[in-house]
Structure 1
């Protein structure tokens, strides 16, 4: 009869471990990631961590999915109820805000070679997701250009969010607002 509560606790523990992974990755990078440090950061025992994730590889795979879900859920919330250009613009604003506020994992500063390899796999996925929000001719080119602008701003951190957003809008063909 306690099963739903147990599931909730498990989900909460899993979430804490994944959130702690972000913190540890930001300090140590992927290569030097310590499961002991993740367990300590999450406030769980090592056996608890191993119950959820049997290896470092399994934890990193789950963390990748966790990050994609956070991003996808954020985009969904930012664009809920919107259509057309308003929806696209809301998605672009979310991308800027996400990169600006993202606690994380500036792995590019710690392990650039790991990030470059990951970007090679992520770029096509991000491009396809953004392209779904674009209409008209050249959607694939617009989406690819916007994603490459976003990646450029990630790799070489920009301190000008307005410029970043203006560049994304330009890449996707959204006319400047007033």
Structure 2
């Protein structure tokens, strides 16, 4: 984050929700255009801000993309933390799996895989070990490392080749994690 972006986030500076609007707009624009064709003008238009305002927050395209990557990870991490708060054992794991399905179903950034698969695959290579390690902490049993790796790969597969049925996706994640099928 550049100095002007840091200064802009201090009390009395621009509203921090502006930064979030810009980052949310970045997801939308990335989903339409991809990273290589990301236009700061298009991001500013999508966010409803002027280019000078965008530049007060992010001094360059590279800085915006770097901050967007952190923001995207923070969205996922905070969402999964909220979904699993106060839960233990299999309830916690199930809540995490449901969150993964919801996140992939609703987050506009997942469409980037259709536009720039190479960028997405390089990003997945970085995220895979982190996601696997976090899931492994939620899974019990002697095969938890294998189960966590399998859940992670099923989730990535659904990210890359989107299915139509969220319930089926969740059932696959539950099966990979070793959770018993839920009955209605």
- TM-score, normalisation: structure 1: 0.92
Is 2:92 the partner of 1:87?
yes
What corresponds to 1:46 in structure 2?
51
Q: CA contact under 8 A between 1:23 and 1:105: conserved in structure 2?
A: no
Q: Distance in 1 between matches of 2:107 and 2:47?
A: 19
Deviations 1:37-56 (A, max 9, x none): 11121122212211211111
How far apart in 2 are the matches of 1:4 and 1:156?
42
Give the length in aligned residue pairs: 175
Counterpart position of 2:29 = 24
Cα deviations across residues 82-109 of structure 1 (Å, max 9, x unaligned)?
Answer: 1000000010011111111222341110
Normalised to the residue count of structure 2, the TM-score between the two structures is: 0.89
Do 2:34 and 2:116's aligned partners in 1 also have CA atoms closer than 8 Å? Answer: yes
Query: Which of the numbers 12, 21, 26 marks the counterpart of 1:6?
Result: 12
Deviations 1:49-70 (A, max 9, x none): 1121111111011111111111
Residue in structure 2 matched with residue 146 of structure 1 by the alignment: 151
Pairing partner for 1:160 from 153, 159, 165? 165
Secondary structure at the residue paired with 2:181?
coil
* Unaligned runs of at least 5 residues, structure 1: none
Stretches (4+) displaced over 3 A: none
Does the 8 A contact of 1:22 with 1:104 survive in 2? yes
Task: Please tell me the root mean square deviation across aligned C-alpha atoms, in Å.
Answer: 1.6
- Picking from 173, 176, 180, the partner of 1:175 is 180
Is 1:70 matched with 2:72?
A: no
Where does residue 5 of structure 2 map in the other structure?
Answer: none
Unmatched 5+ residue regions in structure 2?
Answer: 1-8
Partner of 2:139: 134
In the TM superposition, what is the alpha-carbon distance from 1:4 to its structure 2 partner?
Answer: 7.2
